[in-house]
Amino acid sequence: MKSAIKKQLVLLALAIPCILLAAAITRAATDSKQSAKETRIEIKDFSFQPKLVTVPVGAKVVWVNKDEEPHTVVSTDKTFLSRALDTDDTFAFTFDKPGTYEYFCSVHPRMTAKIVVTAPDKQPMKMYGMN
């Protein structure tokens, strides 16, 4: 009995850090997935900030208008097009194709910017030992 309990205790002692490690890996994976998924661009002072953004395929970009003037977000190749955004309005678009997307504000066309969407990473996660 004693050795059985001892065995269970040892197993438990080993399990806890594994669980914690797994949780940490999952959280890290989720975190990196989230930060890859949502990129924020502020429309401020008649400019898109940042003016050049690079994201991986699958990323979601969210624009928020912080000016007191309405603005729009319009890609020159018509891939995406927002309605007029008043102050604090947002527009979101998820990029499922790699490429370079030039866009501008159709109300104030001198406001131009660019999003570069990179192809997916060819390296899967090594820590699972799969390749």
Applying CB under 8 A, among 2, 110, 122, 126 the residue interacting with other proteins is 110
- What single DSSP character describes residue 14? H
Applying CB under 8 A, among 9, 14, 107, 116 the residue interacting with other proteins is 107
In three-state form (DSSP H/G/I as H, E/B as E, the rest C), the secondary structure along 65-108 is ECCCCCECCEECCCCCECCCECCCCEEEEECCCCEEEEEECCCC
Stretch that binds other proteins, among 1-9, 20-28, 43-51, 119-127 (CB under 8 A): 43-51
CA distances from 20 to 15, 17, 56 (A): 9, 5, 29
Minimum Å distance from CB 90 to other proteins?
16
Q: Which of residues 67-106 bind other proteins (CB under 8 A)?
A: 67-70, 72, 74, 76, 83-84, 86-87, 102-104, 106
Minimum Å distance from CB 96 to other proteins?
23
Residues 6+ positions from 67 with CB-CB distance below 8 Å: 43, 44, 45, 46, 87
Give the CB-side neighbour count of residue 116, counting CA atoms within 13 A: 6
Nearer Cβ to other proteins (107/119): 107
Residues that bind other proteins (CB under 8 A): 45-47, 67-70, 72, 74, 76, 83-84, 86-87, 102-104, 106-110, 112
